[in-house]
Amino acid sequence: MEAASQERYVMSDPRLSRALISVSDKTGLEPLARALVERGVMILSTGGTAKALKALDIAITDVSDVTGFPEIMDGRVKTLHPMIHGGILGRLDNPTDEAARESHGITPIDLVVVNLYPFEETLKKDADFETMVETIDIGGPAMIRAAAKNHAYVTVVTSPDQYDRVIKALDAGDGAIDPETRQTLAMEAFARTAAYDTAVSHWLAGTMEAKTRADMTFGGPIAQTLRYGENPHQSAALYRTTENRPGVASAAILQGKELSYNNLNDTDAAFEAVCEFDPERPAVVIVKHANPCGIAHGDDLKDAYLKARACDPVSAFGGIVALNGEIDGACAEAISEIFTEVIIAPKVSDGARAVFAKKPNLRVLETGGLADPKTPASIAKTIAGGLLVQDRDASSVRDLELKTVTKSAPTEAEMRDLKFAFSVAKHVKSNTIVYAKDEATVGIGAGQMSRVDAAHIAARKAADVAKEAGEAEPATIGSVVASDAFFPFADGLQVAIEAGATAVIQPGGSMRDDDVIAAADEAGVAMVFTGVRHFRH
């Protein structure tokens, strides 16, 4: 907007005389209402808010007395009336608006305090369809949007978190709210109604299992302003959505420093990966820079952690550790042997908490449960001028019909490791090659432009780990190998075979599948096709 067209919004500075308060969340209501009454502001109110204010011995005028019309349809209709919206939307310096107000006896309303029915909170309780419909607020968003549009003259307040700011602005402005505060509150109001409507839209889409919609919105309240983004010169914040899914955004932070942008991103990657595996079997994922550097099943969580760390001990230093069960003291001691940034698990025992407390900067998160990897949801990625939206990759190797395409079939142990390795590959940046043995990763090649390079890097890292540990041969000898996408040529497979892999799992679908299968047969290794690709960018 050009400066000339903003002049009216900058210069107008009315003192408050009439406020409408209608809130679902009554937190902090009394101090705000008393601050208004002390300044001679008349308060209009409705329903439960009016009762709450009367109980506090605060004088109010019922909205029905202003409209001359009672609340009807179980409260569905109460503020949707020209006497209310005319008071909110009327422009104080507009002759036409002034004439309309005088003609119809409409009095201006210059403060609107409204927070909405708790749709998002009700959604988390898995309420039935009818309850959810009745929790959709109509009058509230209408008043908020009207006040926000007319912020040249009207102050709109949508959250108890804003009350102190409003009271301070009243003090500073001798009963008036300055234009900058009004405009800021209007911006926050439109963001609130957008997030609210987003929650309703996504819920309705979920009830219909809608795949692609003509219009889609994403939004949610701010949860945390971060110190910076991926790098110190980038600003960043965490926003919450209405998705009822255990994870880093909703986890309880038991101890430690504030989570950074990179911590949150990496911890999400780690926890989503560990949720991929059978919850009845202990599993641990260690992530560094959004990629797993070690994943393993074990007899218990300590065993799984040690096996995961053994895959790449150097990268595990300063990593993120995600576990799929309750952390006990013994596991906590093992994790505490090296520097770790974040630990996330469904539950942390008292014994583990005592161990972690010795490292106060260590971030420890408790989610209360595991996320279902098969839960459908839309995920988005920004591009210049738009959003790419897709379903979450909910495919699991446990549900796929695997097809052996070579002369030799994998043994029972190899098939177990193949499924494990392919589950790991789903959570590693493409192109990726994963070597695994005894349900533990022994080499991971992540994010390479060439699948051949990914196979080389994973094998080389395994060889480096073996050399450092004084072992006679790398763990890739006798391992299985997984590829997130098909081998376009046999060269990537040849690298894996030379590294010692005895069985291979890949999606298949290349124009040269026959050449790749022939190379596997010539080497005497088993190969399984999944028919499903796991690109991750």
Catalytic residues: 149, 289
The two three-digit tokens of residue 536, written as one number: 């991750």
Cα-to-chain-centroid distance, residue 100: 47
Answer left, alpha or beta for residue 75, where phi above 0 means left and psi between -120 and 50 means alpha. left
Helices (H) and strands (E) in the chain, counts: 20, 23
Q: Is the distance from CB of 154 to CB of 112 less than 8 angstroms?
A: yes
CA distance 445 to 374: 26
Task: Tell me which residue has tokens 């300590």.
Answer: 302
Q: Would you give the DSSP letter of residue 19? A: E
CA neighbours within 13 Å on the CB side: how many for 47? 19
Would you give the DSSP letter of residue 258? P
- The SS3 of residue 330 is helix
How far apart are alpha carbons 82 and 67 in whole angstroms?
A: 8
The CA distance from 60 to 19, in Å, is: 10
Nearest by Cα to 324 from 281, 294, 356, 355:
281
Q: For the chain, what's the residue count?
A: 537
